[in-house]
A and B are shown apart, each in its own frame.
Chain A
């Protein structure tokens, strides 16, 4: 299961999640969402630490982070 989930149609393309991801795991998409905006996509899901900083900076709650999944995977 993935560690992060994008609700891409909520995204307004502000880029705050990309700016603050400490793993540089995010970039804005070439594709457009329903609003006609770029949205974040993962560059390398394996490097995501489920730290949640993208969730915390997103003004539109367009990202969810499953920290429990990441923890279970480690064990």
Chain B
């Protein structure tokens, strides 16, 4: 049995995330996968605008900061210029599915050989809890105060379902970090998404349903319940595409 200790792919820095935020768990999973695959020296991450904007402080590998929503475009450029590098994006739902929708869809459609980690917390976390494309129907946010859907906002955008029609996509899976079992499954999916890139198989995206207790205005325990009960119903977990 292995000892469970802090991977060296994470820096020693204390993160700025709120207590109980899912970003910290997802950082650890990505870092452990990079460690286990032995690719730290050749990995380049792309940081989003959003709560994960300081990614470069937390990872012991190269990280480039991108304009809001542009990580798939930046990652495309880097991977094409340096195909021997392992390039991943780490993006929130506002970054990936609102301002960056176009970059996401076209990178997926082109089948870029990159790995996308998509953190879906159904809200704009960093800016204080505005409605995201993924905010659930009926859910409160500062810009959907009567609950999403009451004023023509439309239903939540389902990224895995949306991308699954594209022929360029290699692998799409939706996971969560709201139970230990989900955390272990999410790590497997993330590892597969990196392995696909190493094997030259093309565009892999892992969506991770994640807690934002602060902007949901819930306790840690209630935030976990919200993912397990509400979010998993709106966004079913599972493998959506696997052409690996």
Chain A bound to chain B: yes
Which of B4-12, B158-166, B194-202 is the interface stretch?
Answer: B4-12
Shortest distance from the beta carbon of A55 to any chain B beta carbon, whole Å: 4
Besides A53-B180, A59-B17, A64-B5, 13 more A-B contacts (Cβ < 8 Å) are A10-B14, A13-B19, A14-B220, A15-B20, A15-B220, A55-B4, A56-B184, A59-B15, A59-B23, A64-B6, A67-B1, A67-B2, A71-B1
B3 near A68 with CB under 8 A, answer yes
Q: A12 to B19: give the CA distance in the assembly, Å.
A: 5
Which residues on B sit within 8 Å (CB–CB) of A70? 1
Shortest distance from the beta carbon of A41 to any chain B beta carbon, whole Å: 17
A65 near B4 with CB under 8 A, answer yes
- Please give the number of chain A residues whose Cβ is less than 8 angstroms from any Cβ of chain B in the complex: 27
Which residues on B sit within 8 Å (CB–CB) of A53? 180
B3 near A66 with CB under 8 A, answer yes
Q: A14 to B22: give the CA distance in the assembly, Å.
A: 11
Interface residues of chain B, those whose CB is within 8 Å of chain A, are 1-6, 10, 14-15, 17-25, 28, 179-180, 183-184, 213, 220-221, 224
Q: Mind listing 17 A-B residue pairs with CB under 8 Å?
A: A12-B18, A12-B19, A14-B20, A16-B224, A50-B1, A52-B4, A57-B180, A58-B24, A59-B17, A59-B19, A59-B24, A59-B28, A60-B14, A60-B17, A61-B28, A68-B1, A68-B2
Using CB atoms, name the residue of chain A closest to B25: A59
A64 near B17 with CB under 8 A, answer no
Q: A70 to B28: give the CA distance in the assembly, Å.
A: 23
Using CB atoms, name the residue of chain A closest to B1: A67
